[in-house]
Amino acid sequence: MKLKNWALLLAFGLILSVLAACGGGSSEKPSDNAGKGTEGTATEGENVLNFVNGDTIPSMDPSLATDEYGFQFLGTTMEGLYRLGENAQIQEGIAIDHTVSDDGLTWTFNLREDAKWSNGDPVTANDFVYAWQRAVNPDTGSEYGPYMMNGVIKNATAISTGEAPVEDLGVKADGDYTLVVELENPTAYFESLTTFGTFLPLNQKFVEEQGDKFATSSDTLLANGPFILKDWESTSNSWNLVKNDDYWDADTVQLDKMTYEVVKKPQTGVDLYEAGTVDRAPLSSDLVDQYATHEDYTVEPQTAMYFLKMNETRNEALANTNIRAAISRAFDKEAIVNEILNNGSLVANGILPSDFSRMPEDSPEAGTDFREVNGDLVTYDVDAALEYWNKGLEELGTDAVELELLGDDGESAKVMGEYLSNQLSTTLPGLTVTLKNVPFKQRLDLDSNMDYDLLISGWGPDYLDPYTFLNLFLTDGDNNKMGYSNPKYDELINATTTELATDNAARYENFLEAEKVLFEDAAIAPIYQKAVAQLVSPKVQGVIVNPFGATYEYKWASVGSAE
Amino acid sequence: MFRYILQRLFYMLITLFIIATVTFFMMKMLPGSPLSAEDKLSEEQKAIVLEKYGLNDPVPVQYLRYMGGLVKGDLGVSFAFDNTPVTKILMDRMGPSLQLGFQSLLIGSFIGIILGLIAAVFRNGAIDYTSTIIAVLGSSIPNFVFAGILQYVFAVRLEWFPVALWGGFEYSILPTIALMIFPMATAARFIRTEMVDVLNSNFILTARAKGISEVGVVFKHGLRNGLIPLITVIGPMAVSMMTGSMVIEQIFAIPGIGEQFVTSVTLNDYPTIMGTTLLFAFLFVVIILIIDLLYGLIDPRIRVSGGNS
Amino acid sequence: MATNDQNKIPKELLVPLVRKEDTSEKISGPSRTFMQDARRAFFKNKLAVISVFLVVIIILMSIFGPQMNEYGTDDQDLTRAKMPPHVPVLEKISWLGLDGTLSGKYRGNDVEAATANAIARYDNKEEFIDIKVVDEGDGSRNSAVVDATYHIYDAKDMSDQYFWLGTDTLGRDQWTRLWEGTRVSLIIAFVAAVIGLVVGVAYGGIAGFYGGKVDNVMMRIIEILVGIPNLVVVLLMMLVLQPGITSIVVALSITGWTGMARIVRGEVLKLKNQEFVLAARTLGQSNGKVIMKHLLPNISGIIIINTMFTIPDAIFFEAFLSFIGLGIVPPDASLGSLINAGFDNLRLYPYLLVYPAVLISLIMIAFNLIGDGLRDAFDPKMHK
């Protein structure tokens, strides 16, 4: 008995020590990484900023990246034809300038000859050709490639569906430093598209050498932008960006290093901020109460719009325009923005965000904000809502309507769903709104199968043109998925990419008109325009916030004094 | 004995196989695809991308392909982390979870055993009640509440420990304390019950009668016998501790496997879901097997009935 | 003769002995069954008895609590969002924190700056803010500290309104939601426990009773069930059923019974070879009778104890689901969803977390103590 007990204890101890060894062994790596990260902050005389990131970087492959963080770090480490500067002004990138043919279909870019990859190779026109072909090649499995290029670059649609060889893509290198792009239709916003992550160049030799391993760690990546990504693997929770001395405009870049740590809970981020570990921390609406008076409190307006989609195909009540008009006027947006979101978000009374696109030069209101020109198209107005509501009920011949609201799962979204369903049910007599909260993937599924009544939806722009918002509601639009269709609207929007494509002033007139049509039909109920509340240290200077693509631009950033 | 182990190993394989199968088909029933920008793509375009990843094939075909890879030890490539093998994700994420789980299990059960022991020796006294209450509180207060309080008091206010993140040993202290409460409470209550039994048994009376000191009785004769049944409880607990606590990992921003698993499930990252499930299941059956064997080793009765059944 | 006289006993003295019953073997106390013994032992356990009272009170409150004031579960009003607790009478005792004020420490370079900070934080309503200087400061960054108390009910002209536990982010009465949430959590826990009990006892009973191959197969099935991640099961249930109480209960039940089944199986395995069962079988009793009359009564103790421990587990699991956003569907609440909401407000509005957290802890403590008490009560070795 005694002996056996000892044998048991021995065995038990052995198991534990084996487990301990496993634990110790595999945990070494992350601690090394983090150690480097924090040491870096202490180095004197270097311009270092420390940030938190909301999640890991899922992909650093320009063709495969789909999310905010992927595009963020691609934009920081790489450079496309152009780069976005202050106020979304187009700045020189690898391209110095370009010419457009009279029909607006052929764009010829002149590339600089002093741009280099971080392995020393020059950045050539071929790198763009290779990268763009790769993005639409169905074998790559890219999602954003077809999304961004189909219908824009010649033959992209046919290639992405496998009906044409990739060589047919309308992009050709004319020598090493001239890139000729042929478009499907004249595209006024093509210049801003070239700043987007999917349009970044790739070094063909390097990518093919790395094969499957390409862009899975900092060793299998090449940079041609202001910074180089270091100490990163795809699952890393911390990484660093260091200045790229080989960047053609390295003299402009003032930061030596940026460190990143993944922190998902805003409270944790704020604690790190207070401890001085990081220089910027996002705030949840609850934290804003506490930090709104903090001297480092800043509100950063963004361009994503949130609105209620009203599905006209599932519930006959929502097929009625008056009912939809009533719903879009029946909830207090001011209260949502001030009390629930509480982060500087703006009330939305249209589908285009404010401070996004300005009227073009040759239009009568040149330079005025689009939102300002079209004004408030639908506001919170209980009396009007009731009027529409009663008219709608009469037309339907009923006095009770039951609707299901599919909730969003973003920040504050749960509370907002509760608030919206309560507001709608209490403001409009006879209306019962039940809330349905499902996991994100299931929501997408229900959305694309049009299996919902009301849905809180968000949309951020992918390029600098009203078209990125307004094409959502075309009759056969891929993102319409709510049964909205108005031939007049389709005609107005389609004209902007065809016969009016080269006449920017006329295009904008159409956009203005189309947005009005959209709200005469009460197709959607806008809720708010997103903003982000943050604590930002005075050390962080010169960071530009982009309206699309990479959220932050660090090329011109510098370290200010901490006090 | 050898035959018994072989037989158990065989069952283990079958168990793992069935778990893999059931999880695979259930997972495929989850709505949506693993595409991250699926809401921006047309149905046609979506189908083309899915085709490239072989996700348009009938589920049984996908299943056979997956199992084929599994036999060769290939867990596949993650959808969420582009081009990253699942094995790498598991290895990267398992480290912190293992370390935390191991530390908290060891310290937690050690303190728990002592608490339980004191409670049993001074049964029904004030110390017993105090230790029972500590134990009950420990298993009753949700650990995320406890973790939040720890973080606020010791990291934010007193600045004794780092607030969050993962680095050296000091980063693991607060999460370990938050995690160890549960094994501590469980061990304390278990040991108390066992020890009350043991201390009332005849061989303890004999030991006392022989004049052995109370300390000797409790530690030499009592504790050793009270500890043995504890491994049945600690085993499954060890698995759940080492496979991570998603909530604690999130609060302290620790790159662990528990959080990774929840994320994978919400992103429909099929290969990672499968890989993590299999890893958890493997740990589980192995630990159950080890416990059964250990038990058989010390208690012949169990070996006989276990071997025959 | 004289000696003989001594032996001469008058005949009348010799009366036949009246046979009295033998009392030496008599049990002087009233006879008690095992259950009576257990009950007596249980009621001797003060902690367990208090716990029973506590559970009864909590159950009653979860039924009647929401009716105790005029606010409904989903009465939203953003103008009264995040109000602190305000209780009549008790509001006079400031340290209880039920006086309807918000307070906090504010820092600045000097007292003036710190005060300005505090006032800005509290809607700029200076006349309703009491400022107490904690540290004058020396002019360096954030060296001055003031303690500010904001009489928010007065500021909002609502001093005649009493939200006993305050209001949440949407201005809903926290008291009402707390008890409704308790009700939901308890229902989930009880239903899950009962399902777990029925399935677990049946499954474990069959496995243990028939033993051999049947047992082996059934135990392997349990191992498989435990190996499938709960999260996948829960997500699927949410899909198949509408999200809500039912799907949570089903998800909990699918794997929740395995623990009970294992324990019951173990007990049955131990009991079925004991003499009294063998005797019953030899006397020709059917399997069903053996199970119902001999086995079940003997394992009822351990079943009850285990059920008591399942209930807090179920409450805990529901809280976890809420924490990752899969729990109860709003506007309904559960203790888990309330805690989850409160957690985001932990530092600034602690009362949103404290009450549900304390209540969930109390419920779990109570059930655990009852379980402990019952275990001691059902253990014959403990009967003294």
Instruction: Note whether A430 and A495 are same-domain residues.
Output: yes
Residue A169 confidence (pLDDT) above 60: yes
Q: CA end-to-end span of chain C, whole Å?
A: 63
DSSP labels for C291-334?
IIIIIHHHHHHHHHHHHHHHHHHHHHHHHHHHHTT-SPPTTS--
Confidence of residue B30 (pLDDT cuts 50, 70, 90): confident
Of residues A372 and C15, the one with the higher pLDDT is: A372
Domain of residue A193, CATH code: 3.90.76.10
Dihedral pair phi/psi, residue A238, rounded to 5°: -150, 150
Average pLDDT, chain B: 80
CA distance B220 to chain C (A): 23
Q: Which CATH number fits the domain that encloses residue A410?
A: 3.10.105.10
Q: What is the pLDDT of residues A334-373, one digit of tens each?
A: 988 888 888 889 999 999 999 888 888 888 888 889 999 9
Residue A150 lies in a domain: yes
Contact list in B for residue C372 (CB cut-off 8 A) is: 132, 136, 189
| Cβ-defined contact of B163 to A11 (cutoff 8 Å) | no
**Does residue C261 surpass a pLDDT of 80?**
yes
**Domain C174-378 bears CATH identifier 1.10.510.10:** no
Written as one letter, the residue type at C231 is: L
Q: Is A277 in contact with B163 (Cβ distance < 8 A)?
A: yes
Q: Which range, of A61-70, A383-392, A408-417, A551-560, averages the lowest pLDDT? A: A408-417
The verdict on A410 and A272 lying in the same domain is no
Q: Looking at the partner chain, which of B145, B265, B273 has a beta carbon nearest the beta carbon of C339?
A: B145
How many whole angstroms separate alpha carbon A479 and alpha carbon A477? Answer: 5
Same domain flag for A361 and A447: yes
Residue A526, CA atoms < 13 Å, CB-side half-sphere: 25
Show the tokens assigned to A4.
């056996």
- Collect all residues of chain B within an 8 Å Cβ-Cβ radius of residue C223: 15, 284-285, 288
Most A CBs within 10 A among B52, B56, B84, hence the mutation to make, goes to B84
B89-271 CATH, one of 2.30.300.10, 1.10.3720.10, 3.30.565.10, 1.10.4030.10 = 1.10.3720.10
Neighbour order of strands in the sheet with C129-135: C102-108, C144-150, C129-135
Instruction: Let me know whether A314 and A418 are in one domain.
Output: yes
Of A311, C228, A435, give the one whose Cα is nearest residue B29.
C228
Burial environment of residue A364 by CB neighbours within 10 A (0 to 12, 13 to 18, 19 or more): exposed
- In the predicted model, is pLDDT for residue B95 greater than 60? yes
Q: Are residues A482 and A543 in the same domain?
A: no
A268·B252 Cβ contact <8 A: yes
Chain C residue with Cα closest to B10: C220
Residues of chain B contacting residue A144, judged by C-beta atoms under 8 Å apart: 37, 40
In whole angstroms, what is the distance from residue A66 CA to residue A371 CA?
28
Please, what sign has the CA dihedral across residues B176, B259, B163, A260? positive
B262 vs C231, C233, C339: nearest CB = C231
Q: Are residues A266 and A231 in the same domain?
A: yes
Q: How far, CA to CA in Å, does A488 sit from each of A376, A511, A513? A: 21, 12, 10
Q: Do A167 and A261 sit in the same domain of this protein?
A: no
CB contact (8 A) between residue C323 and residue B247:
yes
Interface B-C: count of C-beta contacts within 8 A? 104
Provide the pLDDT confidence category of residue B254 given band limits of 50, 70 and 90. Answer: confident
Note if the bond before C331 is cis, omega within 30 degrees: yes
Give the residue ranges of DSSP H helices in B56-172: 59-71, 86-121, 126-140, 143-150
CB contact under 8 A, B277 and C228: yes
Residue C364: its chain B contacts at CB < 8 A?
A: 139-141
Same domain, A348 and A412: yes
Q: What is the dihedral of CA B147, B152, B156, B162, to 10 degrees?
A: -10
Query: What distances in angstroms separate CA B103 from CA B99, B131, B139, C312, one per listed residue?
Result: 6, 22, 18, 26
Which value, in Å, is the radius of gyration of the alpha carbons in chain B? 24
User: Which has more confidence, C8 or A59?
Assistant: A59
Q: Mapping DSSP to helix (H, G, I), strand (E, B) and coil, where does residue B167 land?
A: coil
Residues B281 and C227 sit within 8 Å (Cβ to Cβ)? yes
pLDDT at B156: 75
CB C181 within 8 A of CB C335: yes
Identify the residue with better confidence: A36 or B145.
Answer: B145
- Contact list in A for residue B154 (CB cut-off 8 A) is none
Residue pairs spanning A and C at CB distance below 8 A: 69
User: Does pLDDT of A530 surpass 80?
Assistant: yes
Per the domain annotation, does A32 fall within a domain? Answer: no
Helix (H) or strand (E) holding A533: strand A524-536
Q: For chain A, how many structural domains are there in total?
A: 3
Q: What is the pLDDT of residues A185-244, one digit of tens each?
A: 888 889 989 999 999 999 999 999 998 889 989 999 999 999 999 999 888 889 999 999
Query: Same domain, yes or no, for A198 and A235?
Result: no
**Which of C215, C224, C357 is nearest residue B309 as measured by Cβ atoms?**
C215
CA distance A68 to B209: 75
Whether A7 is covered by a domain: the verdict is no
Taking the alpha carbons at both ends of chain A, their separation in whole angstroms is: 71
User: Using 50, 70 and 90 to split pLDDT, how confident is the model at C67?
Assistant: confident
Residue C233, CB half-sphere, CA atoms under 13 Å: how many?
A: 18
Q: What is the DSSP string of B193-253?
A: HHHHHHHTSHHHHHHHHTT--HHHIIIIIIIHHHHTTHHHHHHHHHHHHHT--HHHHHHTT
Name the residue among B144, B261, B288 with its Cβ closest to that of C343.
B144
A292 touches chain C (CB under 8 A): yes
Which residues does residue B232 pair with via DSSP β-bridges, in sequence order?
A: none
The answer to whether B273 contacts chain C (CB < 8 Å) is yes
The complex scores an ipTM of 0.76
Contact B289, B12 (CB under 8 A): yes
The band of B170, judged by pLDDT with boundaries at 50, 70 and 90, is confident
Q: What is the mean pLDDT of residues A23-32?
A: 36
d(CA A488, CA C369): 71
Q: How far apart are CA B256 and CA B266, in angstroms?
A: 16
The beta-carbon contacts of A245-254 under 8 Å, at least 24 apart in sequence, are A246/A116, A246/A118, A246/A120, A247/A79, A247/A223, A248/A112, A248/A114, A248/A115, A248/A116, A249/A555, A250/A226, A252/A226, A252/A555, A252/A556, A253/A226, A253/A227, A253/A555, A254/A47, A254/A542, A254/A556, A254/A557, A254/A558, A254/A559
List, edge to edge, every strand of the sheet that includes A95-100: A95-100, A106-111, A178-182, A171-173
Residue C165: pLDDT above 70? yes
Which one of A496-505, B119-128, B148-157, C5-14 scores highest in mean pLDDT?
Answer: A496-505
For residue B261, give how far its alpha carbon lies from the nearest alpha carbon of chain A (Å). 13
Contacting chains of B (3 CB pairs or more, <8 Å) are A, C
pLDDT at B309 over 70: no
The answer to whether residue A408 scores a pLDDT higher than 70 is no
What are the b/e assignments for A255-275, b being 16+ CB within 10 Å? Answer: bbbbbbbbbbbbbbbbbbbbe
Asked if the structure places residue A12 within a domain, the reply is: no
Nearest to C347 among B15, B19, B152 (CB): B152
Residues A264 and A316 in one domain: no
pLDDT of residue B306: 42
Tell me which chain B residues have a C-beta less than 8 angstroms from the C-beta of A8.
228, 294, 297-298
Domain housing A512: 302-531
- The domain limits of chain B are 89-271
In terms of domains, do A330 and A475 share one?
yes
Is the per-residue pLDDT at B304 higher than 50?
no
Q: Which two tokens stand for residue A138?
A: 């169905």
Q: What is the pLDDT of residues B122-151, one digit of tens each?
A: 877 788 878 877 877 777 777 777 888 888
Answer whether B36 touches A (CB < 8 Å).
yes
- At B91, list the tokens: 């290895």
Considering the domain architecture, whether residues A400 and A271 belong to the same structural domain is answered as no
